[in-house]
Amino acid sequence: MIGRLNHVAIAVPDIDAAATTYKNSLGAVISDKVEQPDHGVSTIFIELPNTKIELLEPLGEDSPINKFLERNPNGGIHHICYEVENIIAARDQLSAEGARVLGSGDPKIGAHGKPVLFLHPKDFCGTLVELEEA
C-alpha cells in the first residue's frame, strides 16, 4: 500500500523566516507562500531531489497546528506524507485493522489538489501520517 514519501511537514511560527533559512543556509529553492484556508495553514514548499519539505504556519485562530506550536514554540516536524494509489481502499483497509482516521474520515483536497487523509499518531509510532492519493 505505502508508496513514495511525498513530503515531510515542518510547522513553524514564522514561515517567511523559515523559508529564508532554507534558502540562504541550505541553498533550497522555495515556492511562493500559499494560504490554505480550508486547512487553516499557509504553506511554502521546498523541492528536494527526492521529496519535498512542506513548511506550515498557522492561518486563523482555529488552525490545527496551533496546539503543536504551543508545545513546540520553535517549530518541529509535524507530519510525514506517504503516497498511496487508492486513498479510499487504503482508508478502508486501515480502518478495518483498527487504525483511526482523523476528522470525518472522508478525504479532503490537500495542498497539491489531491485527496488526503490523516491517521492518528498513536496508531503510527507517534507520528501524524498524511496519506495522499498519487
Q: By the criterion CB under 5 A, which residues form the site for Co ion?
A: 9, 54, 81, 130
47 assigned to active site: no
- CB 97 → Co ion: shortest distance, Å? 23
- CB 21 → Co ion: shortest distance, Å? 19
Residue placing its CB nearer to Co ion in the complex, 28 or 80:
80
Q: Which residue has the cell 513514495?
A: 4
Which of 54, 57, 83, 130 is the catalytic position?
A: 130
Report long-range pairs for 30-39 (Cβ below 8 Å, ≥24 apart): 34/111, 35/59, 36/111, 38/108, 38/109, 39/64, 39/108, 39/110, 39/111
Tell me the C-alpha to C-alpha distance, in Å, between residue 47 and each of 15, 32, 40, 101, 127. Answer: 16, 12, 22, 28, 22
Residue placing its CB nearer to Co ion in the complex, 19 or 81:
81
Residue placing its CB nearer to Co ion in the complex, 21 or 36:
36
- CB 50 → Co ion: shortest distance, Å? 16
Residues with active-site annotation = 130
